Amino acid sequence: MLSRLGFESEKERLLRASQDLYDLVCMYISSTNTIFRILNEHLGTNFPIISVKENFSVKENLQLLVNALKEMQVIVETKDKDVQEKISHSLYAKIAGPITSLQDKIATVKDLYENYKGVLESIMGALIAVTLKHGKLPDTVESAIHQLLNSPALCLQVSEILMDYADIAEILPQIEALSTTKGSSSSRDTPEKVKSRSQSSSSSLLTFIELVLRGHKSVKKSLKIAADYLEEAVRVLRAPCEAFHSFVKMVEAFIPLITDKLQET
């Protein structure tokens, strides 16, 4: 019946986009925890491992992540300044520059080790701090969030992102009720007014659907627009998230390789 009404494809899009958005939030947090573990081990910091707060919205989770990364950035910038003051400008430029190959990075670190062992408290810590300082991770995440400031998708509570068919079936009658009771005044409501009316509801998903219902009486159209918002959020967040993840995996991968090379010297 749903497929004949055209709901099935919109439901599929909604489910897929919600799963993708959840996966991106988890990937951001997992990558951040990897960086924190590395810093705790090699710089003696004490960053706590963070977790997805499922009772918070997507935006709140990402903002907490940005705040944590900014705290990290303060520490790595302090260490970076210390490194700049203690080593040559040419060697610092090599460390701070893009990693063209692992062999080049190893050669640079060996140079750092041979000439500044004892001058720097931790060769590996210095390398990681300089690399992270120039990675600009907080800016990357914050820029993506800024692009989505007006998206109702980011207001969804994380626990409600992982929808299934049963969840959508449960809210369909509520969507239908909302669409049939919308009067001419409702179409003129601002998002703030709609949100204010919805605050008594414990469902951020229903609030989200109410927001996208503005000006639409069709349930199918509402589901389509909801899927559009989620897919747009995924599109904006995916590229910086994957770049962040790749950067962290690169740092994680070269540490044991460089450590092994240093032990050979």
* % of the chain with per-residue pLDDT over 90: 32
Coil, strand, or helix at residue 36? helix
Q: Give the pLDDT confidence of 10-57 residue by residue, as tens digits.
A: 888 888 998 999 999 999 999 999 999 999 998 899 999 999 999 999
- Is residue 210 included in any domain, yes or no? yes
- Is residue 236 included in any domain, yes or no? yes
**Contact residues for 163 (Cβ-Cβ < 8 A; gap 6+):** 14, 15, 18, 205
Give the pLDDT score at 35: 93
pLDDT at 89 over 50: yes
Give the pLDDT score at 198: 36
Give the pLDDT score at 105: 73
pLDDT at 127 over 50: yes
Mean pLDDT lowest among 4-8, 97-101, 123-127: 4-8
Mean pLDDT lowest among 19-28, 142-151, 156-165: 156-165
- Is residue 68 included in any domain, yes or no? yes
- From residue 116, alpha-carbon distances to 13, 113, 120 in Å are 56, 5, 6
pLDDT at 119 over 50: yes
- Is residue 198 included in any domain, yes or no? yes
> Number of structural domains, the chain?
1
- Is residue 60 included in any domain, yes or no? yes
> What is the rounded distance in angstroms from the CA atom of residue 237 to the CA atom of residue 65?
13
- Is residue 265 included in any domain, yes or no? no
Lookup: tokens for 9 = 């494809």
- Is residue 177 included in any domain, yes or no? yes
pLDDT, mean of residues 108-119? 81
Which is more confident, 33 or 163? 33
pLDDT band at 174 (very low <50, low <70, confident <90, very high): low
Backbone angles phi, psi at 152, to 5 degrees: -65, -15
Q: Is 150 exposed, middle or buried (CB count within 10 Å of its CB: 0-12, 13-18, 19+)? A: exposed
pLDDT band at 9 (very low <50, low <70, confident <90, very high): confident
Backbone angles phi, psi at 216, to 5 degrees: -130, 130
Q: Is 43 exposed, middle or buried (CB count within 10 Å of its CB: 0-12, 13-18, 19+)? A: buried
pLDDT, mean of residues 144-157? 90
The mean pLDDT of the chain is: 79
Q: Give the pLDDT confidence of 180-236 residue by residue, as tens digits.
A: 655 444 444 444 443 433 333 346 777 777 776 665 556 677 788 888 999 999 999
Give the pLDDT score at 179: 58
- Is residue 218 included in any domain, yes or no? yes
Domain that holds residue 7: 2-260
